Amino acid sequence: MNFWTRVSRIIIKGRYLILLLIGLATYFLASQMQYMRFSYTEANLLPADHEINVQYDKFLDLFGEEGNVMIIGVKDSTIFTPEKFNNWNKLANQIDSFAEIDYTISIGDIQKLKRDDKEKKFVLEPLYETNPKTLEDVDKIKKDLFENLPFYDNILYNKESKSIQSVIYIKRDIVNTSKRRDLILGKFNSLVDKFEEDNNIKVHTSGMPYIRTMNAQNIIVEMRMFVALALGITALIFFFFFRSFRATFITLLVVSIGVVWAFGFIGWFRYEISVLMALIPPLIIVISVPNAIFLINKYQQEIKLHGNQAKSLQRVISKVGNATLMTNVTTASGFATFIFTKSQMLVEFGAMASINIIAVFFLALLIIPIIYSFLAVPKKKHLKHLDRRWMGTIVAWMENMVRNYRFTIYSATVILIIVSIIGIYQMKISGSIIDDMPKDKEFYSDILFFEEEFGGIMPLEILIDTKEPKGVMDLPTLKKIEKLNETIDEIPELSKSISVLNLVKYSKQAFYNGIPKYYQLPTNQDKNYILNYSKNSGSSNEMLNNFVDSTGQFARITTYMKDVGTTKMEGIEKRLESKIEKEFDLEKYDVSLTGKALVFLKGTKYLINNLVLSLSLAILLIAIFMAFMFRSFKMILISILPNILPLLLTAGLMGYLSIPLKPSTILVFSIAFGISVDDTIHFLAKYRQELQANKWRVKKSVYAALRETGVSMFYTSIVLFFGFLVFTISSFGGTKALGGLVSITLLFAMLSNLLLLPSLLLTLESKIANKQTLKEPTLPVLPIEDENGIE
């Protein structure tokens, strides 16, 4: 008695205990769902000890969290009327009163730097004392702002377009917590909406905390939608194929328990739900249905063959159990390779996907036979789909192609490979923080508004270490910073820079009684006078703390980036580094680029390199599984080729359709390869069984395997195709691309496994179809048929 026969008897005899254990496990995992939480930060794709992360952590230690800034902006000429102007400043004051807000900067908060000769210091005075009551009052403030205060240019206003903005700083200790979500989705959005309604002015809102919050809310909505759609569509397709409410209900029961387990595991491991993690539950639905198809299809085939329920149930487990286990192991291994990327987000995704795939296999293997053991034997009407004429026509077409048109199959394969390679050379690498965000949402159009009006919303920081206390305020250092600032201002993808230089220039302007033309660096002659005034000025020193650390050794230059891909970013980085090398003596200064925008873009490139390694590892792992199953190097090559071809076709298609290579799209290859190889395993397992039963006659074995597994492979491929196609309705670009590309790849994989694989077996029959080449597997994938009883 082989292993799987013993397993089948244990399952049927211990069915009550097994159902009880499944019930207890489901209850426990359902209780863990309360610990699920959504991610409140953007994913850091780099390992914690990566040089870019180390530099960023150093920056945060010196200047604190830089991703706590929100902005609201308007571009409407009517804002410069008394009522609306005062309401705009009132809005900022109301937001500033929230407990979660550190402080806000709006036009109403502007303090002009003034020279106080009596005290020999600079003092801050309000831009205006009382709220303007007439249009002339507003015009006076507007003129003073746009013409006399260049310090606030690109901070609070755009001189050319006359758009204005208010800057809101969330308290750093709550910016990455649920309190930020509650603030933004609650009273903040309500207040902004009310202002829009009362004043008939469109308010644009952005900043990384706001974008992350609205994005996370979108993830919650889409996750629920995908679970419902995946369940609905797979159930419909399943019912269309089997025409059995009973079979469909059993499958939905297995899948539903699998979804509860998926959510439960995420909560149990205390993982955060990101855009990627939100795909796990619907992904489990799509991947678990093929298990049910193979098990139920085999059960019905056995019932049709001999009508003995006990014998059929045991044969389902003993004949399909190991092959189905191996297909799930290979699928899980495709996801498990993400664990080796060293990216926390992908490690968690890979771990959850692989654990849940194995879990739903055991659920299907245990629940389906046990439930059928309580039910009556399927009637003839439930077995009609096995003789469906159109399905027979498809299988006959495949058999005819393999039998008579192998040259055509090989020619088409070669042509497709050549065309795909040409397409691959046209692929581009891309990636940005907002690249995959939903472009139909209002917060995305607001991002574009701030890119157009203020240069962007993604912070890029330059950290300057002068290597000596108070070295920042040395005039030679300030001149070097000015040269670097000039280069930043010349790059169209970057906003105007903000640094200590702005404050020093503003100090000189204030020293010369606010005359705008003196908004410039001090000369050696007036430097000491101005610095003496600054030393006595507590208020201006507070402003200085935003740009220089407490020791005066470190300075920051802040600019904001537009949505640029990795290629453009590399060009910007090289240009800045070239200027830094030219202006700063690297023995005296340590200058580094950092900020969330750079961390993400560097992470994208790092991740792509690691995912290529992950795909290679997936192919190697699956080759090892094949070796474990068939113990034949030639069989490994024959089984891998039909699954590499679909990946090439998809990569070529991405090149032709200008779909860039980025984290969300490169995931396609590992996922699709792990799933598509399942068909190969089922086909080769049946082929080996037929070889042994037919005394190593290849042709008869290939056609028999094609006829029996062709139906199940077709069913599962169609379910997977439409299951993944559900993701294409996502508003997230990455999720949409993932769904569409995986669907296409799996369709290619089905055709490759049903046409190219059997063709290769027939062509190479003399070299592989013998007991010496095709040795006995380490574990029997499928036992030899025994028509007299159970093995």
Segment 551-561 shows an average pLDDT of 89
Please give the pLDDT value at position 205: 93
Please say if the pLDDT value at position 768 is more than 50: yes
Quote the pLDDT of residue 247. 84
Q: What's the pLDDT score for residue 789? A: 39
pLDDT for position 765: 65
Q: Identify which of 455, 540, 452, 446 has the alpha carbon closest to the alpha carbon of residue 498.
A: 455
Name which residue leads in pLDDT, 586 or 626.
Answer: 586
Q: Model confidence over 629-648: pLDDT tens digits?
A: 666 777 777 878 888 888 88
Q: What is the pLDDT of residue 790?
A: 37
Q: For residue 65, which of 208, 179, 273 has the smallest C-alpha distance?
A: 208
Q: How would residue 385 be classed by pLDDT, with cut points 50, 70 and 90?
A: low
- Residues 6 or more apart whose CB falls under 8 angstroms from that of 686 comprise 323, 704, 705, 708, 709, 782
Determine the pLDDT at residue 782.
46
Mean pLDDT of the chain: 82
The H or E element that residue 190 is part of is helix 189-199
Q: What is the pLDDT of residue 776?
A: 53
- What is the predicted pLDDT for the residue at 82? 92
**Residue 20 and residue 24: Cα distance in Å, rounded?**
6
Residue bearing tokens 């013998």? 770
% of the chain with per-residue pLDDT over 90: 18
DSSP-assigned states of every residue in 733-791: HHHHHHHHHHHHHHHHHHHIIIIIHHHHHHHTHHHHSSTTTSPPPSS-SSPPP-TTS--
pLDDT tens by residue, 92-103: 999 999 999 988
What residues contact residue 184 under an 8 Å CB cut-off, 6+ apart?
70, 209, 210, 213, 214
Residue for token pair 């379910």: 719
Residue 176 exposed, middle or buried by CB count within 10 Å (0-12, 13-18, 19+): middle
**Which element (helix H / strand E) includes 328?**
helix 309-336
Confidence of residue 214 (pLDDT cuts 50, 70, 90): confident
Q: Please compute the mean of the pLDDT values over residues 565-588 and round it to a whole number.
A: 86
Segment 239-247 mean pLDDT: 80
- pLDDT tens digits for range 653-671: 888 888 887 767 777 887 7
Confidence of residue 463 (pLDDT cuts 50, 70, 90): very high
Q: What is the DSSP string of 6-47?
A: HHHHHHHHTHHHHHHHHHHHHHHHHHHGGG-EE--S----S-
pLDDT number for residue 533: 67
What SS3 class is residue 632?
coil
Residues 6+ apart with CB under 8 A from 422: 652, 655
Q: What are phi and psi of 550, to 5 degrees?
A: -65, -25
**Interval 504-511 mean pLDDT:** 86
Cα–Cα distance measured from residue 101 to residue 169, given in angstroms and rounded to the nearest whole number? 6
- For residue 616, give Cα distances in angstroms to 15, 384, 464, 651: 41, 43, 41, 15
pLDDT at 176: 76
Q: Are the beta carbons of 247 and 382 closer than 8 angstroms? A: yes
Which range, of 9-23, 432-446, 544-558, 732-746, averages the lowest pLDDT?
432-446
Mean pLDDT of 687-693: 77
Are the beta carbons of 704 and 748 closer than 8 angstroms?
no
Q: Would the pLDDT of 242 be above 90?
A: no
Q: What is the pLDDT of residue 173?
A: 83
Residue 785 has pLDDT above 70, yes or no: no
**For residue 548, pLDDT beyond 90:** no
pLDDT at residue 541 tops 90: no
Q: What's the rounded mean pLDDT across residues 317-322?
A: 74
Average pLDDT (541-553) is 75
d(CA 218, CA 730): 10
Token pair listed for 113: 């730097």
DSSP letters along 409-463, please? HHHHHHHHHHHHHHHHTT--B---TTTTS-TTSHHHHHHHHHHHHHS-SEEEEEE
Q: Please compute the mean of the pLDDT values over residues 728-737 and round it to a whole number.
A: 79
Sequence-ordered list of residues with C-beta below 8 angstroms from that of 116, at least 6 positions apart, any chain: 122, 123
Q: Contact, 659 vs 669, CB < 8 A? A: no
Contact 595, 56 (CB under 8 A): yes
Distance CA 468, CA 626 (A): 62
Name the residue among 487, 583, 504 with its Cα closest to residue 540. Answer: 504
- Structural class in CATH, domain 3-42+213-425+600-768: mainly alpha
For residue 307, give the DSSP letter.
Answer: -
Mean pLDDT of 485-493: 89
Residue 506 φ/ψ region, left for φ over 0, alpha for ψ in the -120 to 50 degree band, beta for the rest:
alpha
The whole-model pTM stands at 0.75
The stretch 10-27 carries a mean pLDDT of: 91
pLDDT bin (cut points 50, 70, 90) of residue 219 is confident
Q: What is the mean pLDDT of residues 585-609?
A: 82
Q: Reply yes or no on whether the pLDDT at 544 is more than 70.
A: no
